[in-house]
Structure 1
Amino acid sequence: MGRPGLEGGICQPETEFSGASAAREPAIDRRAIPAAARESLWHGVDGAPIRRIDIPACAPSGAVRGSLLFMPGRGDCYEKWLETLVHWARRGWQVTSADWRGQALSGRLGMDATTGHVEDFELWLADYAHLWKALKAESPGPHVAVAHSMGGNLALRAVAEKRVDPDALVLSAPMLGIHPAHVPARVLRPVARVIRALGDPARPAWKVNERPEIVRRARAFLLTHDRDRYADEQAWYEARPGLVMGPASWGWIVAALGSIRALEKRGVLEAVTTPVLLIGTSADGLVSWPAIRRAARRLPHGELLGFGKEAAHEILREADPVRDKALARIEDFLNRAAPARG
């Protein structure tokens, strides 16, 4: 599982991070859980067991910068993001990440082991708020939230609906619209509801190609230009087969479009007082770049970092020039929006 020659720990001395090169930061084994990390279970609002990982702050100075909660996207797992989670831990953040209920190694909500299903995003919003409340009670501030893709939709909704109160929010490729990007959610959702009603809502919305190599190549093209980082995901799937997920269900699609519509309503984002950094790419083949730009304009304290064809959907797992630029901008944003406390 591990790769020879990479550091097993996370607390090595490092030079000041400038965003110029990932080589400035000591490498970790992206295919192994760091020795300092702790995997455990927490329990949702109804007692359902859900996986989490905690990585202690490990800045060279020994100072604790604050606490950071990272939530992944649809069909996602925190294993894919270990490199970035450790990056933040090295900057003094006490880092936590967790599965969404029904994903990764936290059970399933649908009819099989791979289809991603949910009836309503309200279930995930309640879990997220429950986890946030517990983290705030047990960890030092400032408290910041970072989320990717579907996680970005849920985190922004939780903030807009005052379920959580981070000092700052960072959204990477947030799912604020889906493709076809030129068709609004208010049009797509009624169509999806009709299709959902034609059968079991938990049935997959698309078929898995019988030629897995084609699926892998297509996913790699959509997610990242960095072949090694993409290969990390496949290595984790081999080591922990239960992580593997495939298509979303028609129930998920209707629920996702409903959650997108909730954020599109006039006055919702305009009332958000939390500083929010949105990061996206015009080349994203999974979520709508125009929707991300619109959200940034609507948020009173919104900031936007945009990329072009050099970046695919998973910006924080992209090739170093893109990833380093995004991490540097996040660090600058958090230093301004959630400064360290005495």
Structure 2
Amino acid sequence: MEEAKFYSELAEGPSAANAYWTQTDDSVRVRVGAYQAEANTAHKGTILLMLGRFGYIERYGRVAKSFAENGFATVVVDWRSQGLSDRMAKDPQAGHINDFSDYQKDVAAMMQVVEELDLPKPYLLVGISMGACIGLRSMWEGLPVAGAAFISPMWGIKMSVLQRFAAWPLSWAAKRLGQGRRYVPGETGAIYVLETAFTENNLTHNEVMYEYWVNQAKAAPELQIGGPTMSWLFGALLECRRLSSMPSPNTPCITFCGELDQLVDNAAIKTRMVNWPNGEFCIIRNAKHDVLTEVPEIGGDVMSQIFDFFSKVASKGAS
């Protein structure tokens, strides 16, 4: 590992934080961030924070600070084509992936950093949106987590019947014809939080958090990406379909989704959670996509519920 650039002032996270460069098995350089738990707390484990398609290490610095204050270290990876990790297309703004399974190589690289830093166990997964899709696959492939919390998991993409009817053949054909790096129709390289007013955003009702993301995007546009490519879309649709046919793990899990979510398919989430052993499910009324950052009067205190859940998981593991 080598130390990597880290925007600590933009992250506003725990004081003990570092970022590292590491290589995946297919020679992609990815950036992994590690936030340490606060020194004056009882260390309860390490949260493997898997973010969504816009995610990068600094984006949830404030969330990592809350984790640290409650005794948890946090490790997070910039997925390939995101943050400061290698971009997979000539257009650095493109949210591109050659194959969805490539994300598992990024997970493996992240876990190498966790082991090298000797971060405390148990390991606990927090997956947000696309990160929940990646994380669920990782759990089936042996990710050693004692429990999981999912936020608006991308186990299905919200589309109209007509959109879904068109998305499959168009994305498949684009990939087959060597056009997979083209943006999905209607998408561009524009940075969402800079192009979308707070009053029109589909992420959160929390204006303070939205401004935090806007400030990050203005100060470090190199961390941002634009819309997804056709290859990403085909890979995401295919992965969601494959996951839907697989049983839920026995690992204890709690999942939250927003009633007003416009990005993921809440019906697919509910179907998964109804059949999850040791699973808890909560729909947050009037919440948008990012329920972890919603205002308290809408989201309540999702963070406290996650901490309580993980505490129960840890106590069962110790007994």
1:143 touches 1:166 (CA, 8 Å); kept in 2? Answer: yes
1:236 aligns with 2:213: no
Partner SS for 1:223: coil
In the alignment, which of 184, 198, 201 is matched to residue 180 of structure 2?
201
1:315 aligns with 2:278: no
Write the deviation string for residues 63-122 of structure 1: whole angstroms up to 9, x where unpaired.
Answer: 211111101101221212111111111111121111111211112112302110012111
Inter-partner Cα distance in structure 1 for 2:191 and 2:29: 34
Point out where structure 1 has 5 or more consecutive residues left out of the alignment.
Answer: 1-27
- Give the match for residue 249 of structure 1: 229
1:43 aligns with 2:23: yes
The 1:211–1:293 alpha-carbon spacing in structure 2 relative to 1, beyond 3 Å, is closer
1:150 touches 1:174 (CA, 8 Å); kept in 2? Answer: yes
- Give the match for residue 156 of structure 2: 177
Inter-partner Cα distance in structure 1 for 2:15 and 2:194: 35
Inter-partner Cα distance in structure 2 for 1:319 and 1:184: 31
1:72 aligns with 2:48: no
1:282 touches 1:306 (CA, 8 Å); kept in 2? Answer: yes
In the alignment, which of 74, 99, 104 is matched to residue 83 of structure 2?
104
Partner SS for 1:179: coil
Of 95-104 and 247-256, more deviation after overlay is shown by 95-104
Identity of aligned residues (%): 25
1:287 aligns with 2:264: yes
Question: Superposition RMSD on alpha carbons, in Å?
Answer: 2.9
2:256 touches 2:283 (CA, 8 Å); kept in 1? Answer: yes
Partner SS for 1:246: coil
- Give the match for residue 18 of structure 1: none
Please state how far the C-alpha of 1:126 moved relative to its aligned partner: 2.3
1:66 touches 1:92 (CA, 8 Å); kept in 2? Answer: yes
In the alignment, which of 274, 283, 296 is matched to residue 273 of structure 2?
296
Partner SS for 1:286: coil
Residues 24-43 of structure 1 mapped to structure 2, 5 A cutoff: 31-32=11-12, 34-43=14-23
Inter-partner Cα distance in structure 1 for 2:159 and 2:99: 22
- Give the match for residue 38 of structure 2: 58
2:285 touches 2:298 (CA, 8 Å); kept in 1? Answer: no
- Give the match for residue 111 of structure 2: 132
Please state how far the C-alpha of 1:221 moved relative to its aligned partner: 2.1
Equivalenced residue count is: 309
- Aligned letter for 1:276? C
In the alignment, which of 74, 81, 92 is matched to residue 60 of structure 2?
81
- Give the match for residue 118 of structure 1: 97
Please state how far the C-alpha of 1:336 moved relative to its aligned partner: 1.4
Residues 254-269 of structure 1 mapped to structure 2, 5 A cutoff: 254-265=234-245, 268-269=246-247
TM-score normalised by structure 2 residue count: 0.87
- Aligned letter for 2:256? I
- Aligned letter for 1:113? P
2:47 touches 2:73 (CA, 8 Å); kept in 1? Answer: yes
Of 205-214 and 117-126, more deviation after overlay is shown by 205-214
- Aligned letter for 1:173? S
Partner SS for 2:89: coil
Inter-partner Cα distance in structure 2 for 1:187 and 1:296: 28
1:147 aligns with 2:127: yes
1:59 touches 1:91 (CA, 8 Å); kept in 2? Answer: no
- Aligned letter for 1:117? H
Runs of 4+ in 1 over 4 A off after TM superposition: 28-31, 181-188, 195-199, 209-214
TM-score normalised by structure 1 residue count: 0.81
1:217 aligns with 2:197: yes
Partner SS for 1:52: strand
- Aligned letter for 1:78? I
Please state how far the C-alpha of 1:148 moved relative to its aligned partner: 0.6
